[in-house]
């Protein structure tokens, strides 16, 4: 059986990104945290951490993190049932994309979270990459564009999120006076969330045969400013 204290030390290092911050969280010295993680690695016979800035899990560490997070969740559920709410609320780590967080996620979850006294720990990433956070043991659940289940996880279809092409009237008049055509699309600046966001690039490649890098792009990695930039005609 795994030593709980060593497992908590590993979780703290991954969640905070460093031994120093993990030590502060656990009220230990950095050397004590490092010793617990090193002992756990020795017992399991495999390196669990890539020691950098921030610290990241190895492949073996990812598998262990999945186990540790699920074990912690089960323990919290048991204690909450036994003590009738006298313990700390459960905290569930979710990996979601910005559009999901900015639109339907919180209204959809709020009644359940309030009723069950559950806390959220949200990590943001592109919808094509949130599944990797589950695979790395950095989240317990997530919203993903992939229908393929991670190992140890189930997939439930949530519905369809439709994206439409939008432009401010002045932008459309300036760049597309003769309609949305290939040459015009090559010249017009494209609004992209970040460099992981391939939604627009996939569309332009599929519909107009324009490869990534053949048109100018703005990068605005926040949902509300992103929409504001479109309204301003950037």
Residue 209 and residue 145 in contact, taking contact as beta carbons nearer than 8 Å: no
Q: Which residue has the higher pLDDT, 73 or 125?
A: 125
75 Rama sector, left if φ>0, alpha if ψ -120 to 50, beta otherwise: alpha
Burial of 217 (0-12, 13-18, 19+ CB in 10 A): middle
pLDDT tens digits, residue range 29-55? 888 888 888 888 888 888 888 888 888
- Residue 66 pLDDT: 81
Question: What residues pair up with 124 in beta bridges, in sequence order?
Answer: 96
Of the pLDDT bands very low, low, confident and very high (cuts 50, 70, 90), residue 87 is low
pLDDT at 153 over 80: no
Q: Which fold has domain 169-231?
A: D-Maltodextrin-Binding Protein; domain 2 (3.40.190)
pTM of the model: 0.57
Q: How far apart are CA 176 and CA 200, in angstroms?
A: 17
- Tell which residue, 84, 120, 106, 229, has the closest CA to residue 167: 229
User: 138 and 151 in contact (C-beta within 8 Å)?
Assistant: no
Query: What pLDDT band is residue 188 in, cutting at 50, 70 and 90?
Result: very high
The residue-averaged pLDDT of 114-139 equals 83
Greater pLDDT, 97 or 152: 97
206 pLDDT tier (thresholds 50, 70, 90): very high
User: What distance in Å separates the CA atoms of residue 43 and residue 106, rounded to the nearest whole number?
Assistant: 41
């Amino acid at each position: 059986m795994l030593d709980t204290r060593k497992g908590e030390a590993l979780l703290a290092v991954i969640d905070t990104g460093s031994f120093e911050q993990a030590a502060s969280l656990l009220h230990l010295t950095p050397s004590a945290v490092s010793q617990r993680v090193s002992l756990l690695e020795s017992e399991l016979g495999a390196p669990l951490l890539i020691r950098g800035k921030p610290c990241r899990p190895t492949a073996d560490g990812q598998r262990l993190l999945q186990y540790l997070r699920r074990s912690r969740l089960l323990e919290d559920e048991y204690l909450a049932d036994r003590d009738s709410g006298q313990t700390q609320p459960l905290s569930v780590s979710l990996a979601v994309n910005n559009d999901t967080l900015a639109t339907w996620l919180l209204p959809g979850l709020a009644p359940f979270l309030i009723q069950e006294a559950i806390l959220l720990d949200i990590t943001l990433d592109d919808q094509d990459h949130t599944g990797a956070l589950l695979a790395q043991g950095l989240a317990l659940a997530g919203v993903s564009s992939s229908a393929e289940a991670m190992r140890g996880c189930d997939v439930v279809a949530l519905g369809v999120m439709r994206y439409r092409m939008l432009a401010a009237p002045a932008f459309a008049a300036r760049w597309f006076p003769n309609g949305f055509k290939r040459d015009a699309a090559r010249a017009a600046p494209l609004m992209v969330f970040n460099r992981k966001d391939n939604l627009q690039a996939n569309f332009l490649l599929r519909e107009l045969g324009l490869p990534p890098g053949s048109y100018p792009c703005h990068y605005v990695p926040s949902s509300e400013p992103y929409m504001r930039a479109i309204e301003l005609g950037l």
